[in-house]
Structure 1
Amino acid sequence: MPRFSWHTCSVPVGLPVRQVYGFLFVPDGRVLLRVDGTKHTLPGGRPEPGEVEYCDILRRETMEEVTVDIDEPHYLGYQCVDDGIAPYAQVRMAAVISRVHPAAPDPDSGRTYRRLLVHPGKVGDLLSWGETGYLQATAAAEAAVTVFGLPSDGLPETGDL
């Protein structure tokens, strides 16, 4: 069973980054989640050959999966996944959505994902990532207020984008 740990520092040299995911905020402070059936997740995915900049990976993945443009992403930290074979990092970033395009199929899967806006306080529950998920969601909510200047109270609970 893999072990997960959350770190707010830079990814250590030599620890491969296998995924980059983003907590994407709309101006009212809610977070966009990608919905696939009954599963909620953050937009993001694997680096493609030659991609090294986390911001570029996140921008590409968010356009492919949830068809939104984002402003400059803010690095939150990484989750270390120790699967007992070779540990790796999953980078987490936060960004504000700057433009929403019509929903379209993901070029990798062919699926068109539902886009759900949720109150930041509900993200940890919906992701079902346990303690590290709550820590990540808390770091993202704090960045939304302190880095992006988004509101933190009086937000609607949920809604489709």
Structure 2
Amino acid sequence: MPKFSWHTDAVPAGLAVRQVYGFLFVPDGRLLIRVDGSKHTLPGGRPEPGEIAYADILRRESMEEVTVDIHEPHYLGYQCVDDGISPYAQVRMAAVISRVHPGAPDPDSGRTYRRLLVHPSKAGDLLAWGETGYLQATAAAEAAVEVLGLPSDSLPPSGDLPIGTA
């Protein structure tokens, strides 16, 4: 079984980045969760050949999977996945959504994912990534306020709303 660890420093040279995922916020501070059936996750995915910049990967994946444009992403850190064969990194970033487009099928899977806006405090439970997931969600919520300038005290108390469900 793979072992997961969360790191807030840069990805070490030589450690392959296999995924880039984003904690994407709307201006009132709620977080977008991608919903696929009963599974909740963040928008993101694998780098395509020739892609190096994490921000570019996240922008492309955000448009493909949940059809949103984002402002400049902020690097949060990476999750190291040690599968016992060849460890790799899963980069995590945070960004503000600048525009929401109508839902459309993901070009890779052909599926149109539902989008759910939630209070950031619910991310750890919904993502179900264990302890490292809670650490990532906490880092994202802190960055949303401290770096992205989102409100910390004006969030709606429940505020779980689907956006553009297909």
The Cα RMSD (Å) is 0.6
Q: TM-score, normalised by structure 1?
A: 0.99
Please state how far the C-alpha of 1:148 moved relative to its aligned partner.
Answer: 1.1
Q: TM-score, normalised by structure 2?
A: 0.96
Please state how far the C-alpha of 1:155 moved relative to its aligned partner.
Answer: 1.7
What does residue 13 of structure 1 align with? 13
What does residue 99 of structure 2 align with? 99
Number of aligned residue pairs: give it. 161
The 1-side partners of 2:149 and 2:47 are apart by: 29
Correspondences of 1:107-146 after superposition (within 5 Å): 107-146=107-146
What does residue 90 of structure 2 align with? 90
Correspondences of 1:16-55 after superposition (within 5 Å): 16-55=16-55
- Which amino acid counterpart does residue 109 of structure 2 have in structure 1? S
The 2-side partners of 1:28 and 1:124 are apart by: 19
Please state how far the C-alpha of 1:53 moved relative to its aligned partner.
Answer: 0.3
Divergent runs of 4+, >2 A: none
The 2-side partners of 1:113 and 1:58 are apart by: 16
Q: Which runs of 5+ in 1 are unaligned?
A: none
Q: Which runs of 5+ in 2 are unaligned?
A: none
Of residues 149-158 and 93-102 in structure 1, the stretch that sits farther from structure 2 once superposed is 149-158
The 2-side partners of 1:10 and 1:80 are apart by: 11
Please state how far the C-alpha of 1:149 moved relative to its aligned partner.
Answer: 1.1
